[in-house]
Amino acid sequence: MAPSRCQRFVLLPTTMATACFLTVLLLALCAAPAPAQAARALTPGRAGAVTKAQQGGTGSNATAAAAAADEYLAPHNQARAAVGVPPLRWSADLASTAAAVVAQQQRQVGCTFVDMGGSPYGANQGWASYRARPAEVVASWVAQGRYYTHANNTCAPGRQCGTYTQVVWRRSAEVGCAQANCATVATLTLCLYNPHGNVQGQSPY
Ligand SMILES: *[C@@H]1O[C@H](CO)[C@@H](O)[C@H](O)[C@H]1NC(C)=O
Ligand SMILES: *[C@@H]1O[C@H](CO)[C@@H](O)[C@H](O)[C@H]1NC(C)=O
């Protein structure tokens, strides 16, 4: 299947009674294509804007970190179990790299998607126009699975399946994620996967 591009779609419209107009909540998704063979190492900037809890394991508050990690990990492993793929492990190293990357996006480029083309890791991203919970962002990646047909390893025409196929990629063994709070109330969420998935021409499982 073709490498996926970023995708933007409307998640939920809500009515603002006082102003009499629709506020549209957006959740945009992005799956990195498989990295080039000689991928350069990811060089994240300094961490700063992301809380210890969101770094998922490197902070001093281990209880909060474990809870945050599980919010990302549990829906990943549910989706994997549903297709008979073994669970991912949480990686504190990948989580702190992800935290540094989203913090840099937040500070320097207004929380836009990260260009993960040169990264050795698989990368799923989610940008939400509201304070999205980690589990909600992962659920939006998993939801792409409804367009994916495993029997012929294809995605429905006009749809994207890349964030789903990375979630269930059998050879990916570990994941680490982080989220940055952006201007107003938006969030940018990033999960990194090692080894990376979405190798063109291969089936995820
Ligand atoms: C750790 O995080 C939990 C949950 O957010 C909080 O209740 C607790 O007070 C924190 N502990 C420390 C030492 O910061
Ligand atoms: C793959 O299978 C689905 C479901 O049977 C079908 O709708 C789709 O057309 C197939 N795609 C290709 C490229 O064969």
Pocket test for ligand 2, best of 1, 148, 152 (most atoms within 8 A of CB): 152
Query: CA-CA distance, 190 to 180, in Å (whole number)?
Result: 9
141 against 48, higher pLDDT: 141
Domain housing 183: 63-194
11 CB-near residues (< 8 Å, 6+ apart) = 25, 26, 27, 128, 140
- Does residue 190 sit within a domain? yes
Closest residue CA from atom 7 of ligand 1: 64
Confidence of residue 34 (pLDDT cuts 50, 70, 90): low
Question: 161: CA distance to ligand 2 center in Å?
Answer: 14
- Does residue 131 sit within a domain? yes
- Does residue 34 sit within a domain? no
- Does residue 162 sit within a domain? yes
Instruction: Please check the confidence at residue 59 and state whether its pLDDT lies above 70.
Output: no
Cβ–Cβ under 8 Å, residues 80 and 87 = yes
Other C-beta atoms within 10 Å of 25: how many?
Answer: 15
Q: What is the arithmetic mean of pLDDT over 59-68? A: 65
Maximum pairwise Cα distance, the chain: 55
Cβ–Cβ under 8 Å, residues 205 and 83 = yes
Pocket test for ligand 2, best of 154, 155, 159 (most atoms within 8 A of CB): 154
- Does residue 72 sit within a domain? yes
pTM score: 0.76
Ligand 1 atom closest to the Cα of residue 67 is: 4
Instruction: Please check the confidence at residue 193 and state whether its pLDDT lies above 70.
Output: yes
Domain count, the chain: 1
The percentage of the chain sitting over the pLDDT mark of 70, rounded to a whole number, equals: 72
Query: CA-CA distance, 122 to 167, in Å (whole number)?
Result: 10
pLDDT for the residue numbered 109: 85
The CATH number assigned to the domain holding 97 equals 3.40.33.10
- Does residue 187 sit within a domain? yes
Q: For residue 132, which phi and psi values (nearest 5 degrees)?
A: -75, 135
pLDDT for the residue numbered 17: 34
Q: Which of 7-16, 94-103, 169-178, 183-192 comes out lowest in average pLDDT?
A: 7-16
- Does residue 37 sit within a domain? no
- Does residue 21 sit within a domain? no
Confidence of residue 47 (pLDDT cuts 50, 70, 90): very low
Instruction: Please check the confidence at residue 51 and state whether its pLDDT lies above 50.
Output: no
